[in-house]
Structure 1
Amino acid sequence: MTSALMTPALALDRLPTPSERDAVAARLAGIAAAAGEILREFERGGCSHRLKADGSPTSQADLAAEALIVAALGETWSGIPVIAEETAAEAAPAALFFLVDPLDGTKDFLKGTGEYTVNIALVAGERPVAAALAAPALGRVWAAGAGAVEAALVEGRPGPFRPVSARPLPPEGMTALVSRSHGEAADEACLAGLPIGRRRGVSSALKFGLLACGEGDVYVRCGPTMEWDTAAGDHILTQAGGCLVGPDGRPFGYGRRPGQYRNGPFAAFGDPSQAGRAVLPERCPERGA
C-alpha cells in the first residue's frame, strides 16, 4: 500500500475489491493524519471540555477533528453515511457506512499523555473492510485494506507504509495491554485464565495498533465501548493476523443501531490460536456492580 493510490469511487451495491480496500485505507490514513494535526494544535494550545450525559468528556478538539473527518469523507464518498461519535451517533447504517471516533482517549488527551487515537473504518455489511488508526502525538499511523500496514507521520502526513503482523504466543507468556483508566474486575478475571507474562498500561485504541505490530499479545475489555471505538482497530488487527472475539468466540458484527452501537465484552489477541482460552461475561458489567 502507498499513500499515492488513487481513491476509488465505491459502488454501493457490492463489496470493495482488495485493491479498492487498500486505496480506501490509504485515503483514510491521510484523513486521520489531518485530523490528528488539528488535535495536536489543541494539545499545544489548550482545550476546553465538558462532560457528556454518560460522564465521559468531550472537547473542542473532538468536535473540530470530527468536522474535518466528516467533511473529507463526504467530499470523497458522498453517498456513504457516516456514523460519528460526537455529531452523528444516531445516523443509520447502510450497505456501506463509516464509523468514526475523532478522538479516542479524550481523558488522556486532556492529561497530555499522548496516548490517544483517531479511528476511521469503512464497514461493508457487518464487518470493516478498510480502516485507519492514527496516534498523532506518537507519530504513528496504521491502516488496513486487504493487508495491515504502518507508517510514521511526517509533517502531519503518512510516510511510506510497511507491512505489519501480529506475533505468535511468546515463550515467556503474553504481554497484556491493560487500560490506564477503565479497569474492570471482569477484565482481571478473564486475564487470570491466560498465560500472562507481563502487563503494559496503554490507553485508547492504540492497543490495537500495538497488537497488530507485535508489541503486545492480548487486550481484554469487559466494560462498555462503542462500535467507533473498536471497528478500525479490529480490522487492522485482523488483517495483521490477529483477532477480536466476543463472548461467543465469534468476530464482532457492526451496525447494531437497535443497540445504539454499543459493544459487548471482547478479547483481542495477536495469536488467534489463543482466542479459545478467553472466558468473557455475556454482558458488560453494570457500573458499580
Structure 2
Amino acid sequence: MDLSARSQLVETLIPIIRKAGKAALRLQHDGLAVMTKEDGSPVTTADLASNEILRAGCQALFPDIAVISEEDSPAMGTGKSTNDTFFLIDPLDGTKEFMNGREEFAVNVALVESGRASVGLIYAPACDRLFFSHGPGRAFERTAGRRRNLPYRPPAGRQLNALISRSHCDPQTLALLKILQPCKVREMGSSLKFALVAAAEADVYLRLGPTMAWDRAAGQAIVEAAGGVVLQADGSPLRYGPDRNVKVDGFFATRTPQLAERVIAAIRTLESGSAVAFPQ
C-alpha cells in the first residue's frame, strides 16, 4: 500500500476509532460490568463494545483486510491472508486504569504490512486526543479540530523525561531507570506513553516486561513516523505476524535515535553488571 492509500485509510478509520472510544467512555461510569478472561486478565463491557464497533467498521470498509483483535480470534478475519496485511487492534488499552476511573486509556488500531506496523491510530477519549500516522514524517495529532504535525519542539535543556507503566512495572525497568538518572519519571497507563514520546512531551518509554502485539503496534508506527525509535530490549527490530500468542519480553521507545543509543548502552551496562536478569 502506498502513502496515498495509507492516508486515505487513516482518514476513513478516524470516525470509527472515535466512535469506539466514545462508546467506551460512556460506559466507564455507567453500569460497567467486569469479567475475567482465561488468562486471568480483566475484560469489561466497554472493551467488548469498542471491539464490536472497530471490527464491524474495519470489515465493512476494508473487507479484504483481516482483523486481529485482543478480544477475539484472528479466525474471524475475512479476505486477505493475515500473513501479508492485517489490522491489529486493542479496543481498550489500559483496562485497569479505565476500571479505576482514570483517563489513561486508549483505543489502538494498527495496519501491519509484511511484518511492519505501517499505520497507527491511538485515540484517548477521556482527553479527546487523537494521534495517527501513515508513513515516515507523517505523524499527527488531531485535537479540538486542529491537526498538528508530530513531534512538537521540546523545551531546551529539559531533563530526560521517562515514562513507565503504572500497572505493569518490573524490576528490570526500575534497574534501568537508575542507570539513566538523572531523569524525571512518570507512571502512566496505556499506549498514551507511545503518543507522548511521538509528540516529544516525553523522551523515552521503557517496558522491559512482556507485552502483546496489540499493545505496541499502533504506538510503534506513530513513534517511528515522528522520527523516533522502537526496539526490543536487545536492540533488534520489532516485527509482527498473525500469531496472537507471541509475546515480546521487553522493548523501549525513544523520540530520537540518539536517545535509543543511550538506552541500549544502559541496558548493556545492566546486563554486564547487574543481578537483575534480562529476557533473552
Match of 1:202 in 2: 188
Q: Which residue of 2 aligns with 1:64?
A: 49
Task: Please state how far the C-alpha of 1:101 moved relative to its aligned partner.
Answer: 0.1
Counterpart for residue 272 of structure 2: none
Q: Distance in 1 between matches of 2:188 and 2:156?
A: 19
Deviation, 1:26, is 2.2
Listed as ranges, the gaps of 5+ residues in structure 1 are 1-15, 154-158, 285-289
Is 2:106 aligned against 1:117?
yes
Rounded to whole Å, the distance in 2 between the matches of 1:25 and 1:250 is: 28
Give the corresponding residue for 1:34. 19
Q: Is the 8 A contact 2:116 2:240 kept in 1?
A: yes
Q: Name which of structure 1's ranges 38-47 and 126-135 shifts more when overlaid on structure 2.
A: 38-47
Q: Distance in 2 between matches of 1:166 and 1:230?
A: 22
How much identity, in percent, do the aligned residues show? 36
Give, as a single letter, the amino acid of the residue that structure 1 aligns with 2:219: G
8 A contact 2:24–2:46 mirrored in 1: yes
CA change 1:196–1:56 in 2 (3 A) is farther
Is 1:17 the equivalent of 2:13?
A: no
Equivalent residue runs for 1:238-257 within 5 Å: 238-255=224-241, 257=243
Q: Give 1:149's aligned residue.
A: 140
Q: Work out whether residues 83 and 242 of structure 2, in 8 Å CA contact, stay in contact via their aligned partners in 1.
A: no
Q: Could you list the runs of 5+ residues in structure 2 that have no partner in the other structure?
A: 269-276
Deviation at 1:196, TM superposition (A): 4.0
Distance, in Å, in 2 between the alignment partners of 1:121 and 1:96 is: 11
Report the count of equivalent residues: 263
Distance apart, 1:274 and its partner CA: 1.8
Cα distance in 2 for partners of 1:74, 1:115 equals: 28
Measured on the aligned residues, the alpha-carbon RMSD in Å equals 2.1
Q: Deviations over 1:151-197 (max 9, x none)?
A: 115xxxxx342111166796343101121111100001222222442
Q: Does 1:175 align with 2:155?
A: no
The one-letter code sitting in structure 1 at the alignment partner of 2:2 is: T
Q: Which amino acid aligns with 2:120?
A: A
| Partners of 2:74 and 2:242 within 8 A in 1 | no
1:192 alignment partner in structure 2: 178
Give the structure with the larger strand fraction.
Answer: 2
SS in 2 for 1:209: helix
Amino acid at match of 2:112: V
> Which amino acid counterpart does residue 86 of structure 1 have in structure 2?
E
Alpha-carbon separation, structure 1, partners of 2:152 and 2:213: 22
For 1:271, the equivalent position in structure 2 comes to 256
Equivalent position SS for 1:107: helix
Report the 3-state secondary structure (helix = DSSP H, G, I; strand = E; otherwise coil) of the residue aligned with 1:93: coil
Match of 2:72 among 77, 87, 103: 87
Q: Does 1:107 align with 2:93?
A: no
Task: Measure, in 2, the Cα distance between the counterparts of 1:237 and 1:166.
Answer: 12
* Corresponding residue number in structure 1 for 2:37: 52
Aligned partner of 1:283 in structure 2 is: 279
Change beyond 3 A, Cα 1:170–1:229: farther
The verdict on how the C-alpha distance between 1:245 and 1:196 changes in structure 2, with shifts beyond 3 A counting, is farther
Q: C-alpha distance in 2, partners of 1:93/1:261?
A: 15
Give TM-score scaled by structure 2 length: 0.87
Rounded to whole Å, the distance in 2 between the matches of 1:144 and 1:203 is: 21
